[in-house]
Amino acid sequence: MADSIELRIIDRVKKARRGSIYFTESFLKFGNAKAVSKALERLTHKGELRRIATGLYARPIMDPIIGPVNPPVDAIARAISKRDRARIIPSGDYALNLMGLSTQVPLQVVYLTDGSTRNVKIGKRSITFVHTAPKYLTARGELSGLALQALRTLGKNRVDDDEILKIQGFLKNEKKAHLEHDKLLAPVWIQKIFDSVLNQLKE
């Protein structure tokens, strides 16, 4: 029975691309939680899977120099949010890093969510989900939503001209309809930055 569960799991895993993320519950149709956990433990020992957190596994990505590595942190966070049926958006220093406004890769990656507040340890890094009001998660554009978080992190009196120019260049890749919608979610000083981009898109 145990071998059967293991074979069925590895058959499914090998049909997916490397970096695919799984949870213990992803395989419960093959057996009960205890049996599935044991099978996953054996597959991890064999190197077929990589345990990246409690109950969280991935088919490792093979780097030609350093060998098996975890999927990107953002992919892990989005897999967790999909399982939990929660919305998320990068926040704080991580938002700044994603936009190229900071070269520092934070060890603690923070997402705002309409799900529960929780922390997931990933090796030396961690993903922290912070529950927030739904209004902060209603941006339609991925790029404009990220820009909103970055600007809120920088603050009205701390954002400089170079940073504003970088953000405006970033926003030019967003859909105009998304910019028009998402600027209304922001305070006036951020709306002016969005308006500058919208005016250029009209030209």
**pLDDT tens digits for 13-25?**
989 899 999 999 9
pLDDT of residue 201: 79
pLDDT at 133 over 80: yes
pLDDT of residue 203: 54
* Pair (88, 147) in one structural domain: no
* Pair (143, 191) in one structural domain: yes
Residue 187 has which token pair?
């305070």
pLDDT of residue 103: 87
Dist CA 85 CA 96 (whole Å): 25
Residue 143 has which token pair?
């790029």
* Pair (164, 109) in one structural domain: no
Number of domains in the chain: 3
Q: Which residues contact 111 (CB under 8 A, 6 or more apart)?
A: 77, 81, 88, 89, 90, 91, 94, 127, 128, 129, 130
- Contact by Cβ (8 Å): 178, 141: yes
* Pair (45, 83) in one structural domain: no
pLDDT of residue 11: 92
pLDDT of residue 1: 56
Dist CA 74 CA 106 (whole Å): 12
Phi first, then psi: give them for residue 59, nearest 5 degrees: -75, 115
**pLDDT tens digits for 53-67?**
999 999 988 888 888
**pLDDT tens digits for 163-173?**
999 999 999 99
Of 87, 111, 136, at which residue does a domain stop?
Answer: 136
CATH number, position 6: 1.10.10
Mean pLDDT, residues 41-46 taken together: 93
**pLDDT tens digits for 89-130?**
999 999 999 999 988 889 999 999 999 999 999 988 999 999
* Pair (145, 196) in one structural domain: yes
**Segments forming the whole domain that contains residue 179:** 139-202
Burial per residue of 123-149, b for 16 or more beta-carbon CB atoms within 10 angstroms, e otherwise: eeebbbbbebeeebbebebebbbbbbb
* Pair (143, 160) in one structural domain: yes
Mean pLDDT, residues 47-54 taken together: 92
